[in-house]
């Protein structure tokens, strides 16, 4: 400040007393003791004070306007991205494909055939992408939300050019506001290897994610479908499991983040249904297989198929006599849509009640993929889930749904997808 | 801006051409078409532009400093409150009682006797306030966090003048940063009438509240004790319940918000323990009674005692042969402290294994409070919890803890507290 004042003083001297520069004994050199009263006098003359005030006004105006300006900028930057996406290598935080007429909000009723606007969380995942295919196929508008923790853009790339499809990179742990008619809430890693990776995040996804999507459903009056899991039955003491069974779940184990998270998600859904009148649907999904499954997430079907394609022996843990039920993904997707369109809250078991031992499964894989495949036995892991088999009589009766595709019919349908991906993977490694 | 410019121009004229004021045909009246070049000339003379810049600098400095100033202000405003609180009628959002030496952060080790700084969430509640009394009594510094949904300041008013005590009005659903050695996490409504009031908030309290306090424990390296509940056993198929029992809990019922919320809180605690190395302790609390219980929260002990004091008949639902176990609050508090100070994670059942039917309880109340008390039978409610009885052998063995106060000894200790509060309540109504 002192320096500034000195500068100003000297400048004033330059202007008004130019002759002083020639003399070393000019008043400029002597004026220091008298500078304060002189500067004050100088300040008050020629409306200089007024101009300081004008300056303050200009400076303040900038800072007052600035927050609203900076608040605008992120929205502007995403709208710049909106129209420019075409390749999968490009990963913007929000890829939006504009609707033909530039409509905003939900599709107005009465203008042409009724089209639903549907959001599918986790829509880039294995089950989600098949569901999206079905919804797009019947003519609806679909918004996919995915954080791509286990989801892959490859599962949806064939839809990128469809104007009724939109993909948003978003984590459901954060709220989002959309105008939709239906919410399929699938977002959550579903394989132990993935959901144990960050158990606290798994709980957040299940609890806060479900809370956020239920809040959205409440705000916009959308119907909400929760994809729960057969894991809510834990290590069941009833076999097969009916929806009325309360389960046998360890609250403090390593798998609890998923099991308890999903149970709490169900609780939240029911509380929003009872308390806020939200139209809720709950599906409890049993083991499912099909194209686009994660290759190496430790599930037995993808393990066996991938191992056989790679010409490795199939790994059977324990004696191979533990049983599993496997449902083909298109059956599940049909069940989810039937549940959403129906009037029953649920919960509904969606699974294939056909039961196979691990050895029987290995035999089928051998038969339909590669007769030369071999089996390798390894000791069983500690938390290997015990047998689980859905009782689907409730879904049969109320939703008129039951699985149609047997293991022998379903397995071959996933082989070409797996073969391509394993081939690409190997090529990628070779580079 | 135009007006301002005009003002400035006229002011300049006032100064430099004073004679113009006397004439209606002065240059002032004619200058409008020439005002732009003239004002520019005017601006560039006498360093006026420089002074505008100085003004901008002053204005900007204020706004640049302002955020850090406003960030300081809440802390300043609370420190203003710090010393001025003495009456319970005064309810600031943060009541802080400064520590003697004005220390910040945790109590430094090695200066005098080691004093712990402990936070008790829900410390204004029934159990919390008794725990705070014990911790203050043994010489520690205690910070209470409470949102006063069911907690009451009256439970702590006797500590308000103690410099080792501090009370913060805060909801654990929001994060908070404190420097503490131990965290007793009790915050959650515990009676069905309260936790069913807003089931979604109950889940948020249990999940996000626990998450926030575990995050705090991780950040500051504090030991964390979760008060879970016997409700995690649900409608138990084992009797009495051992800690290894996984429970029989309905995930989609009206009580699930509490049961599943607490189960997920346990999961979170264990995940922070396994994943982040947080020192975690889990207590599963069974029915507890004592002074400062909520008067009308539907619990049987407070119901019977309050009804007897009010000279109403005691309401027994059903045939009165269902059983309950009741632990006196000082026993529970001893157990919580023993668990916190010990090396075992838990979970530990903390409860009194003594089992009473409702009719036996009514008899004891009659005997120790008012021999003229009567009983009234009413039909049982739908979700009345079935019998529950803790197996406390684990706590006995590892914590060397067991309850000491029988029902006959404990009941009389809550009578004077209840009598005073009911009296005050009636006086309040009479006003």
pTM above 0.80, yes or no: no
Mean pLDDT of chain A: 80
Is residue B196 assigned to a domain?
A: yes
177-216 in A: which are within 8 Å (CB) of B? 199-200, 203-204, 207-208, 211
Residues of A in contact with B58 (CB under 8 A): 52, 55-56, 59
Range of the domain at A177: 91-292+326-354+385-406
Give the H or E element holding residue B419: helix B407-430
Whether residue A89 has pLDDT greater than 50: no
Q: Kindly state whether A67 is in contact with chain B, defined as any CB-CB distance less than 8 angstroms.
A: no
A29 touches chain B (CB under 8 A): no
Specify the higher pLDDT residue, B73 or B388: B388
CB contact (8 A) between residue B50 and residue A8: yes
Question: Which of B51, B347, B349 best probes binding to A when mutated, by most A CB atoms within 10 angstroms?
Answer: B51
B173: confidence class by pLDDT, cuts 50, 70, 90: very high
| Rounded Cα–Cα distance for residues A164 and A142 (Å) | 6
Cβ within 8 Å, pair B208-A203: no
Q: Cα separation of A333 and A337, whole Å?
A: 6
Residue B192, domain member (yes or no) = yes
Q: Say if A82 falls within a structural domain.
A: no
Nearest CA in chain A to B234: A246
A260, B254: Cβ pair inside 8 Å? no
Residue (of A395, A409, A406) closest to A334 by Cα position: A395
Q: What is the pLDDT of residue A141?
A: 95
DSSP B380: P
pLDDT band with cut points at 50, 70 and 90 for residue B39:
low
CB distance A211–B204 less than 8 Å?
yes
A382: closest CA among A275, A255, A220? Answer: A255
Q: Average pLDDT, stretch A374-399? A: 84
Average pLDDT on A321-335 reads 92
- With respect to residue A118, please indicate whether it lies within any of the assigned structural domains: yes
Q: Which of A184, A195, A258, A289 is catalytic?
A: A258
Task: Report the C-alpha gap between B327 and B392 in whole angstroms.
Answer: 12
Q: What is the pLDDT of residues B395-418, one digit of tens each?
A: 999 999 999 999 989 988 998 888
Highest mean pLDDT among A71-80, A113-122, B330-339: B330-339
Nearest-CB residue to B252 (from A55, A252, A266): A266
Q: What is the mean pLDDT of chain B?
A: 80
8 Å CB contact of A264 and B268: no
Q: Are A52 and B58 in contact (CB under 8 A)?
A: yes
Q: Which residues of B touch A11 (CB under 8 A)?
A: 47, 50
Position A428 scores a pLDDT of: 61
Nearest residue to B146 via CA among B118, B171, B175, B178: B171
Q: Do B260 and A261 touch (CB under 8 A)?
A: no
Inter-residue contact A180 to A215 (CB < 8 Å)? no
Judged by CB atoms closer than 8 Å, whether chains meet at B275 and A12 is answered as no
pLDDT-derived band of residue B110, with 50, 70 and 90 as boundaries? Answer: low
Whether A260 sits inside 8 A of B264 (CB atoms) is yes
pLDDT average, residue stretch A284-297: 90
Is the pLDDT score of A15 beyond 70?
no
3-class secondary structure, B173: coil
Q: Within an 8 Å CB–CB cutoff, is residue B386 touching chain A?
A: no
A258 an active-site residue?
Answer: yes
DSSP string across A59-110:
HHHHHHHHHHHHHHHHHHHHHHHTT----TT---SEE----TT---SSPPTT
**Which residues lie closer than 8 Å to A384 by C-beta, 6 or more apart?**
A317, A318, A322
The listed range with the strongest mean pLDDT (A379-383, B263-267, B407-411) is B263-267
Decide if pLDDT at B101 tops 50. no
User: Using 50, 70 and 90 to split pLDDT, how confident is the model at B321?
Assistant: confident
Question: B105 lies in a domain?
Answer: no
Lowest mean pLDDT among A110-119, A180-189, A362-371: A110-119
Between residues A78 and A367, the one the model is more confident about:
A367
**CA–CA gap between residue B292 and residue B413 (Å, rounded):** 11
List the single residue in A with minimal CA-CA distance to B51: A52
Least CB–CB distance from B267: residue in A50, A257, A269: A257
Phi, psi of A84 (to 5 degrees): -105, 5
Closest CA to B195 of B241, B245, B251, B259: B259
The pair phi, psi for residue A229, each rounded to 5°, is -145, 155
Task: Choose among B45, B199, B248: nearest Cβ to A271.
Answer: B199
What is the token pair recorded at B341?
């100070």
As a residue count, chain B comes to 431
Asked if pLDDT for residue A11 goes beyond 90, the answer is: no
| Confidence class for position B370, pLDDT limits 50, 70, 90 | confident
Cα(A53)–Cα(A334) distance, integer angstroms:
71
Confirm whether B158 is domain-assigned: yes
Pairing of strands A165-169, B348-350: unpaired
Place of tokens 């639902």: B317
Residue B35 has what pLDDT? 61
**Is A203 in Cβ contact with B15 (below 8 Å)?**
no
Report pLDDT for B428: 61
Res A111: pLDDT: 53
Task: For residue B208, name the pLDDT band (cuts at 50, 70, 90).
Answer: very high
User: In the prediction, which pLDDT does B427 show?
Assistant: 67
Split at pLDDT 50, 70, 90, the class of B344 is very high
C-alpha to C-alpha distance for A266 and A249, rounded to whole angstroms: 14
- CB-CB: which of A4, A48, A266 is closest to B48? A48
In whole angstroms, what is the distance from residue B111 CA to residue B231 CA?
43
Whether residue A257 has pLDDT greater than 80: yes
A54: closest CA of chain B, how far (Å): 6
pLDDT for position B423: 83
Using a CB–CB cutoff of 8 Å, tell me whether B321 touches chain A.
no
- Cα separation, A205 vs A261, in Å, equals 8
Of A199, A253, A264, the CB nearest to B260: A264
Q: Is residue B46 part of a domain?
A: no
Which residues in chain A touch residue B282, judged by CB atoms under 8 angstroms apart? 252
Residue B385 has pLDDT above 70, yes or no: no
Residues 6+ apart with CB under 8 A from B63: A59, A60, A63, A64
pLDDT of A21 > 80? The answer is no
| B positions 211-250 inside 8 Å of A (CB) | 211, 232, 234, 246-250
Long-range contacts of B154-161 (CB under 8 A, 24+ apart): B154/B88, B155/B124, B155/B125, B155/B126, B155/B128, B155/B129, B155/B292, B156/B123, B156/B124, B156/B129, B156/B132, B157/B88, B159/B132, B159/B133, B160/B85, B160/B86, B160/B88, B160/B95, B160/B97, B161/B86, B161/B97
**How many domains are contained in chain A?**
1
Give the residue carrying structure tokens 């939703």. Answer: A399
Contacts B386 to A, Cβ<8 Å = none
Residue A8 to residue B261, Cβ atoms within 8 A: no
Residues 6+ apart with CB under 8 A from A227: A127, A184, A185, A186, A188, A283, A285, A336
CA distance B395 to chain A (A): 18
Span B323-347, average pLDDT: 94
Q: What residues contact B44, with CB distance under 8 A and at least 6 apart?
A: none
Confidence of residue A60 (pLDDT cuts 50, 70, 90): confident
Tell me which chain A residue has its CA closest to the CA of residue B257: A267
User: Helices (DSSP H) in A147-255: which residue ranges?
Assistant: 192-195, 199-204, 210-220
Structure tokens at B15: 């100064």
Q: Is the dihedral of CA A257, A262, A265, A270 positive or negative?
A: negative
Whether chain A has a CB inside 8 Å of the CB on B275: the answer is: yes
- Asked if A275 has any chain B CB less than 8 Å from its own CB, the reply is yes
Residue B78 included in any domain: no
- Both tokens of residue B379? 């039909």
Query: Would you say residue B99 has pLDDT above 50?
Result: no
Max CA pair span of chain B: 109
Give catalytic residues of B, as residue numbers. Answer: 258
What value of ipTM does the predicted structure carry? 0.70
Percentage of chain A beyond pLDDT 90 is 48
B52–A48 C-beta distance less than 8 A: no
Chain B contact for A48 (CB, 8 A cutoff): yes
pLDDT for B108: 54
Query: What are the Cα distances from residue B325, in Å, to B286, B315, B353?
Result: 8, 18, 6
CB contact under 8 A, A63 and B59: yes
Percent of chain A residues topping a pLDDT of 70: 75
Taking the C-alpha atoms of residue B261 and residue A267, their distance in angstroms, rounded to an integer, is: 9
Q: Is B52 helix (H, G, I), strand (E, B) or coil?
A: helix
Q: Decide which of A191 and B59 is more confident.
A: A191
CATH of the domain at A391: 3.40.50.720
**Residue B63 and residue A60: Cβ atoms within 8 Å?**
yes
Any B CB within 8 A of A280 CB: no
Burial of A350 (0-12, 13-18, 19+ CB in 10 A): buried
pLDDT value of residue A267: 96
Contact by Cβ (8 Å): A366, A407: no
Supply the pLDDT for residue B147: 94
Q: In chain B, what percentage of residues exceed pLDDT 70? A: 75
Output B66 or A187, whichever has higher pLDDT.
Answer: A187
């Amino acid at each position: 400040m002192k320096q500034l004042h000195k500068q100003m003083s000297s400048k004033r001297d330059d202007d008004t007393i130019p002759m002083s520069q020639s003399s070393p004994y000019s008043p400029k050199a002597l004026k220091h003791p008298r500078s304060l009263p002189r500067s004050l006098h100088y300040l008050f003359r020629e409306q200089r004070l007024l101009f300081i005030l004008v300056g303050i006004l200009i400076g303040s105006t900038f800072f007052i306007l600035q927050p609203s300006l900076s608040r605008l900028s992120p929205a502007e930057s995403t709208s710049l991205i909106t129209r420019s996406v075409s390749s999968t290598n490009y990963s913007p935080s929000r890829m939006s494909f504009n609707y033909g007429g530039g409509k905003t909000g939900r599709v107005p009723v009465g203008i042409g055939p009724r089209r639903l606007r549907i959001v599918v969380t986790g829509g880039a995942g294995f089950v989600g992408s098949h569901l999206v295919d079905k919804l797009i196929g019947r003519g609806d508008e679909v918004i996919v939300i995915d954080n791509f923790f286990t989801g892959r853009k490859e599962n949806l790339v064939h839809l990128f050019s469809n104007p009724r499809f939109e993909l948003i990179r978003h984590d459901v742990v954060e709220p989002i506001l959309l105008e939709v008619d239906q919410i399929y809430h699938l977002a959550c890693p579903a394989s132990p290897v993935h959901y144990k990776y960050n158990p606290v995040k798994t709980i957040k996804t299940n609890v806060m994610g479900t809370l956020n999507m239920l809040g959205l459903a409440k705000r916009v009056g959308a119907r909400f479908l929760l994809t729960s899991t057969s894991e809510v039955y834990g290590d069941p003491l009833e076999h097969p499991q009916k929806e009325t069974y309360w389960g046998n779940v360890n609250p403090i184990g390593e798998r609890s983040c998923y099991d308890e998270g999903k149970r709490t998600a169900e609780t939240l859904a029911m509380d929003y249904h009872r308390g806020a009148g939200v139209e809720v649907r709950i599906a409890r999904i049993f083991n499912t297989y099909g194209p686009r499954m994660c290759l190496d997430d430790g599930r037995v079907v993808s393990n066996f198929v991938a191992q056989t394609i790679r010409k490795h022996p199939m790994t059977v843990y324990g004696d191979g006599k533990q049983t599993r039920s496997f449902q083909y993904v298109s059956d599940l997707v049909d069940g989810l849509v039937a549940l959403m369109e129906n009037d029953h809250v649920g919960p509904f078991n969606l699974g294939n009640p056909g039961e196979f031992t691990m050895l029987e499964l290995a035999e089928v894989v051998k038969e339909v993929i590669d007769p030369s495949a071999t089996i390798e036995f390894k000791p069983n892991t500690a938390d290997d889930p015990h047998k689980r088999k859905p009782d689907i009589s409730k879904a049969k009766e109320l939703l008129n749904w039951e699985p149609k595709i047997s293991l022998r019919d379903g397995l071959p349908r996933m082989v070409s997808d797996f073969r391509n991906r394993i081939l690409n993977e190997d090529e990628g490694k070779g580079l």
